Amino acid sequence: MPHALELKYGLTAQELFDAIDKRFRLKVALEGAVAEVHFERKLRIAAREGWLNDYVSHDIDGMHDFTVGTLSGVSIRVEVKTIRNELKPKVELQKTRAAKSDPSSRFYNRDHFDVIAVCVGRSTGDWSQFRYALVRELPNHRSHPDKLQVMHPIPDDFNDTKPRWFSRFQDIIDAFSV
């Protein structure tokens, strides 16, 4: 039975995969979607295992990717990103486009989300691996103190780093609640 996308575009699954594989920007978009699916899988398991109350996925322009409800009733807004394809792991926190009237609108406001979930699959090959940080601990943009800095290195060693980075979502929930 053909997939709905095969029917919609009149292409086979193989032709669709080949089209994706030949286009850099399309692969980048796909990697973002893959990261979100893996993160949602983690949330679904967490909710089923009982250490998370609930979650909502948002596919709305200008909104964070997920809202997570903790057992204590706190809502956490999560943005999912992938690491840059570079030697040292880092994440780029800026929007794809800026408003013509305000170039700083490309930068995220500090209050846009609470937690950044960074998929490190590009570097590890395991697209289910993430690193997490609290937005309140991330540095400000130099020219716009109400915005987040664009590039954030992700350390290999999480001991005593500022900002703190975590490899388990449970740990970032605990850190958020403190």
Cis omega (within 30 of 0) for bond into 163: yes
For residue range 118-166, what is the model confidence (pLDDT) as tens digits? 999 999 999 999 999 999 999 999 999 999 999 999 987 766 678 999 9
- Is the model more confident about 56 or about 62? 56
Please give the helix or strand (H or E) that residue 130 lies within, else none.
strand 130-134
Measured distance CA(154)–CA(59) in Å, rounded: 26
Domain boundaries, the chain: 4-177
Read off the amino acid at residue 103. P
Q: What are the tokens at 26?
A: 């399309």
Q: State the pLDDT at residue 12.
A: 95
Read off the amino acid at residue 44. R
Measured distance CA(80)–CA(112) in Å, rounded: 12
